[in-house]
A and B are shown apart, each in its own frame.
Chain A
């Protein structure tokens, strides 16, 4: 299923039980008691979303989006600490410039 249902649950449970990549459980426990009231930082990002959509969010939407953003925020610091990505590692995609189709080239 896509997909987010599974991947969010994967983050919490499956990662621990199946693949051995345990990082989300601890992070989730850490922040369990935090309130869902948006912080100033969250608010900036939520406001940017509001601005880009040109429409105010409802209180419920604001709360859920804040939770979503926070979930992402709390997972990455641990991921970064545990898995170092060397500066020389390139992402796995390449941009290939397109040649002129009419053969105007010096090669």
Chain B
């Protein structure tokens, strides 16, 4: 075992989703464990109190949750086990439609929005027996206009549970804060560029960005039709695998969704892999602290028998192309809002002007970006002939101050989101340690398209040998 922590003994709010599922299901066999209703009540109270304190809660779904938990208990008592998430309480980013429950997209301009249907992911988690206890806060419209402040949300600035004067990250802010603080058993986030991995890193959460198309987006707010992804945010990589099994697979209502289910292989869990190190200038970014923590994580991976090699991606303007695609698809997706006075209801002024500027991006620049993507995809993926995965710190620094402009605090933050998001590659951010201020740092493992099993296997091996993912913040 590598570093051990000396925190308080774990309680039910610290358990991983898979552990919670086992606990509920163990109730059936003997007079032990707890019922889904008991657990749901505990988590509802944590989400109501801590979630509100962190500005992580968009809407509590108490009645629905208790109804689903009662059903789970009845089924489990009758021996009908739907899977590892049966009876486990979870939260969903507030851009996923839930029938009859407000879905505000984090936006003051959509405060009265209610859909009369469920998103595919919500349906699938219901079918897996999971219990929806709340909708979680997010940056308004997933930040598509280019936000500059943590307060760019109808719920206010979402706080990092490890330090309340720091930001939880975005745009899946509430998913990160609520999962990291133990206010939900697990959560669902979405990513267009960094929206799962960033809050996961800031809040000490394991967050998986699946391959583009792996998880159907029917019923999810669209920011960028060719880049939006939905994925799990949880307290372990094992949880992420279980959740992905439940939500992945084609849905004809999302034409971009890929065929085939995701199944985590039960064998080969000890396999050794070739890890590719992305070049990072720690000194230039004043991130020596993170370099050390990453070095320790790398040593842990080497001890597990993995080999490491330096790699570099072919030189394409990934960031420019990805940025242009999001600008234009975002401007198109929200065109009605942008052309209306309601745009100015958004909390962050930078969002107003960013969205408006998106209308002025030339069509040829958008198509050039799409053509660059077509050129880069077959070239860049060849890196996975030399190595199985790419690894790097998710970001070079911990959560930034909540009350300052992100334009200032993001300097030197680093990140690996451009190529992976443009090309639809899967990635996971897992806890790898803390900086000198006690802020969590994430380790990112990026895989080839549809190779979630590989990155999850490495992440699970790492979490068997370390306990960073077990650490929880103190009292909030």
Name A's B-contacting residues (CB within 8 A).
1-11, 13-21, 23-24, 45-46, 48-49, 52-55, 57, 60-61, 64-65, 68-69, 72, 75-76, 79-80, 82-83, 85, 89-93
Give the contacting residue for A13; candidates B198, B317, B353, B411; CB below 8 A. Answer: B411
Q: Find chain B residues with CB under 8 A from A8 CB.
A: 146, 323, 407
**Residue B16 interfacial (CB < 8 Å):** no
Near A by CB (< 8 A), chain B positions 325-339 give 326-327, 338-339
Give the contacting residue for B318; candidates A9, A21, A53; CB below 8 A. Answer: A21
Q: Would you list the 8 A-B pairs with minimal beta carbon distance, nearest first? A: A4-B146, A91-B370, A68-B357, A92-B374, A64-B353, A1-B170, A3-B193, A1-B198
Smallest CB separation, B160 vs chain A (Å): 13
Q: Find chain B residues with CB under 8 A from A55 CB.
A: 341
Name B's A-contacting residues (CB within 8 A).
139, 142-148, 169-171, 191-195, 198-199, 223, 226, 278-281, 284-285, 312-313, 315-320, 322-324, 326-327, 338-341, 343, 349-350, 352-354, 356-357, 359-361, 365, 367-368, 370-375, 377, 392, 406-407, 410-419
**Chain B minimum-CB-distance residue to A88:** B371
Q: Find chain A residues with CB under 8 A from B170 CB.
A: 1-2, 5
CB of A6 within 8 A of CB of B320, answer no
**Chain B minimum-CB-distance residue to A5:** B406
Q: Find chain A residues with CB under 8 A from B193 CB.
A: 1-3, 6-7
CB of B352 within 8 A of CB of A61, answer yes
Give the contacting residue for A72; candidates B191, B315, B340, B361; CB below 8 A. Answer: B361
Q: Find chain B residues with CB under 8 A from A10 CB.
A: 319, 323, 415, 417-418
CB of B416 within 8 A of CB of A18, answer yes
Q: Find chain B residues with CB under 8 A from A46 CB.
A: 360
CB of A11 within 8 A of CB of B319, answer yes
Give the contacting residue for B415; candidates A6, A76, A79; CB below 8 A. Answer: A6
Give the contacting residue for B418; candidates A19, A76, A90; CB below 8 A. Answer: A19
**Chain A minimum-CB-distance residue to B343:** A53
**Chain B minimum-CB-distance residue to A70:** B357
**Chain A minimum-CB-distance residue to B416:** A18
CB of A15 within 8 A of CB of B143, answer no
**Chain A minimum-CB-distance residue to B278:** A18
Smallest CB separation, B142 vs chain A (Å): 5
With A2-B192, A6-B198, A89-B375 known as contacts, the answer to whether A21 contacts B406 (CB < 8 A) is: no
CB of B357 within 8 A of CB of A91, answer no
Q: Find chain A residues with CB under 8 A from B313 CB.
A: 19-20
CB of A4 within 8 A of CB of B144, answer yes
